[in-house]
Amino acid sequence: MASMLWNETLSVGVKTLDDDHKKLVDMINELVDGITSNRRQESLSQILDKLIHYTRFHFRREEEYFARTGYTAAAHHASEHRELIRQVTDLQARFRSGGASLLSLEVMKFLKEWLVHHIMVEDKNYRAHLNANGIR
């Protein structure tokens, strides 16, 4: 599976959030690399834990910006965040209980596609609002 590449079409026009997205892309790539190079379950688990932790951090940051600026689509956006966290923590729990095969390239493809779709559709929607409220 090819690495996910950051490019300017993924920019949401807010530097801190773009930087977060770049880190998430790097972490997904690290996980894909770990799977394709047959790293041990412990190593993959650490990478997955780091990805989930940073994803939660990023989602909190976005939601803090929404609260600070009165973003009207905040509830919908936060529900998207909660659903991904639910799916990924479920995957993490199954992986920890011995389901090493769960971290397949198919799962990684899902994560990549979800991230790109979320940035390109959901996140791009807040760009004008956050920028108009001084968050760039």
Identify the CATH number of the domain in which residue 108 sits. 1.20.120.50
pLDDT category of residue 126 using cuts at 50, 70 and 90? very high
**pLDDT at 72 exceeding the cut of 90:** yes
Which of 131 and 97 is assigned the larger pLDDT?
131
Q: Which range, of 27-41, 63-77, 92-106, averages the lowest pLDDT?
A: 92-106
**pLDDT at 130 exceeding the cut of 90:** yes
Q: Range of 89's domain?
A: 10-132
Taking the model in full, what pTM does it have? 0.91
How many other CB atoms are found less than 10 A from the CB of residue 15?
Answer: 11
**pLDDT at 30 exceeding the cut of 80:** yes
Tell whether 47 is covered by a domain. Answer: yes
Tell whether 43 is covered by a domain. Answer: yes
Residue 99, pLDDT score: 65
How many domains are contained in the chain? Answer: 1
Closest CA to 53 of 97, 83, 76, 23: 23
Tell whether 1 is covered by a domain. Answer: no
